[in-house]
Amino acid sequence: MIRLPAIKIQQGLSSRPFLSAGSFLGTLALALAAAVPLIYLAGTDPVTAYGALLRGSVGDQYALSETVVQATPLLVGGLAVALAFHAGLFNIGVEGQLVVGGLAAAAVGVNLDLPAAVHLPVAVLTGAAAGAAWAAIPAVLKAWRGVHEVVTTIMFNYLAFGLSRHLVAPGGGLASATQPSASDPVADGARLPALTETTRIHSGVLLAVAAVIAVGWFLYRTPAGFKLRMVGANPTTASFHGVGVRRVQIGALMGSGALAGLAGASEILGLYGRYLDSFSPGYGFQAIAIALMGMLTPLGVLAAAAFFGMLAAGSVGLQSVGISRELINVVSGLVVGFVAAQPALIGAYLRRRRKRQASGQGEDASAAPADVDARSAHV
């Protein structure tokens, strides 16, 4: 049986904002510090390297815009992972659901001839619906047959990758006659509008912000969100209180898939304007680390996605000082490693603190009779 101890640790931390912020900043500091020896081995010093990273990610308007562009799919993907985690589910299939969402949005954008006011919403919603549908089978297998979602969602990732390659291969249903491994451009009416003329920022950013607000409101302000978190905390107790655990699990995994599909649709309709077989460099897999690093809270996921967006955008700046962009993958890997170690480290810290508190209470209790005797003698 696959156990997910990180879920309870992260859910517990989400109710302790100062500890959550400290854990988030500590993870960043440890990852950046652990990369210092590697930076020296690359032939430069960390001040120069991290300075180039900052200039490449937030040094000017265009650099900042690239950080936002890179962070947008990571943010929505991180919300997808976090939503499933809150229900006690580990959705490793976000990458495949994101790919399917992009495929569906591109199919609507290329093949349907609709008024602009209708075409864009239909394309976006179709992408989200495709992601939800792709997660539906693993959800039903989990709820009704007990098949672990980690296994099925991984399998569905590879099905999505194969479907993508087939549809844009020569003779495929979405294949372009002029560009290999891609579809024809989507209609102008199905494009997400650009927010500025001089950068690549598009209105998918607004969809991502709306997703942060919607997920936060759903989880912490609605009865359905409370039931979902209750199932994640203890499905047996939730069942005893009349919560339909199977229904909640299916809804949570399909909602997670819908968010992943929205991320894929946003990239295709906003950034590229056509479907590309390799448009995602692994956003769905990075989203797992982002969700855990963000303590499963929407605002925490936003902060974590911003950091990973800075790494991706700043990698160009590293090349200007003679460091390979692959160092960014190293830093990202270190972040993932420290995120994976968080449950053990934080669990040990919490246990030690409870032990100190218990020993302090024991000392107070043993001191009480002596105090009483002292007061009695004084009287």
Number of domains in the chain: 1
Side-chain half-sphere CA neighbours of 19 within 13 A: 16
Residue 228 vs residues 121, 175, 198, 258, 365: alpha-carbon distances, Å: 28, 41, 43, 16, 41
Give the pLDDT confidence of 148-177 residue by residue, as tens digits.
Answer: 999 999 999 999 999 999 999 998 889 998
Q: How far apart are CA 231 and CA 30, in angstroms?
A: 33
Max CA separation in the chain (angstroms): 101
Report the CATH number at residue 61.
Answer: 1.10.3470
Give the pLDDT confidence of 237-270 residue by residue, as tens digits.
Answer: 999 999 999 999 999 999 999 999 999 999 999 9
Residue 18 pLDDT more than 80? no
Q: How far is CA 332 from the centre of its chain?
A: 14
Burial of 9 by CB count in 10 Å (0-12 exposed, 13-18 middle, 19+ buried)?
buried
Give the pLDDT confidence of 216-246 residue by residue, as tens digits.
Answer: 999 999 999 999 999 999 999 999 999 999 9
Nearest to 149 by CA among 225, 88, 194: 88
Q: How far apart are CA 92 and CA 83, in angstroms?
A: 12
Residue 143 vs residues 2, 136, 196, 235, 288: alpha-carbon distances, Å: 16, 10, 45, 12, 22
Residue 373 in any domain: the answer is no
Residue 241 in any domain: the answer is yes
Residue 23 in any domain: the answer is yes
Residue 374 in any domain: the answer is no
Residue 249 in any domain: the answer is yes
- The two counts, helices (H) then strands (E), for the chain are 15, 0
In the predicted model, what is the mean pLDDT of residues 181-207? 93
Residue 112 in any domain: the answer is yes
Nearest to 262 by CA among 119, 89, 74: 74
Residue 378 gets which letter from DSSP? H
Q: How far apart are CA 315 and CA 260, in angstroms?
A: 25
Residue 261 in any domain: the answer is yes
Residue 292 in any domain: the answer is yes
Domain that holds residue 218: 5-362
Q: What's the predicted TM-score (pTM) here?
A: 0.86
Give the pLDDT confidence of 282-323 residue by residue, as tens digits.
Answer: 999 999 989 988 889 999 999 999 999 998 898 877 777 777
Tokens of 138: 């693993």
Q: How far apart are CA 72 and CA 272, in angstroms?
A: 14
